[in-house]
Amino acid sequence: MSEDPIRMVDVASKPISYRMAEAVGELILEPRTIAQIQDRTVKKGDVLTVSEIAAIQAAKRTSDIIPLCHQIPLSSVQVSFDVLEDRVRAICQVVANHTTGVEMEALVGVSTALLSIWDMVKYLEKDEQGQYPHSRIDGIRVTKKIKE
C-alpha cells in the first residue's frame, strides 16, 4: 500500500480555458430489441429520450460518482444516438470553460446513456434462464478532446 495521501489535484493556478470532450460507446442488442426501440414500443417508454436525459444528469454529477474529479460547471452536454441493425451507439459531447478537462464527464455521460438503454430493454434481452447472452456494452472511449 502506498504511503502517499490520496488527493485531488490542485488546479487553482491553471488558467481557465475552453474544454471539450467527446466519448462514444455501443450497446449490442438483439435486432428484435432494436426494432422495438425504433418503433417506440418498449414498455418503459421512449428509450432514447430517457437515456439522453440520464446521460446529461450523469455528466453534471460526475464529481459525485468519481471521487477525485473536480466539480465543473458545464456549459453544454449534448447526447446523440445512432441506432444500427444490432446496436445503439451513444455519443456524449461535454463543454466547459474551466481549469481542467471534461473527459470524465463525457465518459460518465456515455456510460450512463448505455446503461439506461439496457435497463429499459433488459426484459427483451433475457434468455429462458434470465441471462443476457447477447447484450454487452462495448468500445467506450474518448474520441475527441479540445483545450483552447
d(C-alpha 112, C-alpha 121), whole Å: 14
Q: Of 39, 46, 119, 127, which residue is the catalytic one?
A: 119
Contact at 8 Å (CB) between 120 and 45? yes
119 in active site: yes
Q: How many residues does the chain have?
A: 148
**Would you list the DSSP string of 11-69?**
-TTSPPEEEEEEEEEEEE--HHHHHHHHHT--TT--HHHHHHHHHHHHHHTHHHHSTTP
Give every CB contact of residue 106 below 8 A, 6+ residues apart in sequence: 21, 22, 23, 59, 92, 93, 94, 142
Which residues carry out catalysis? 119
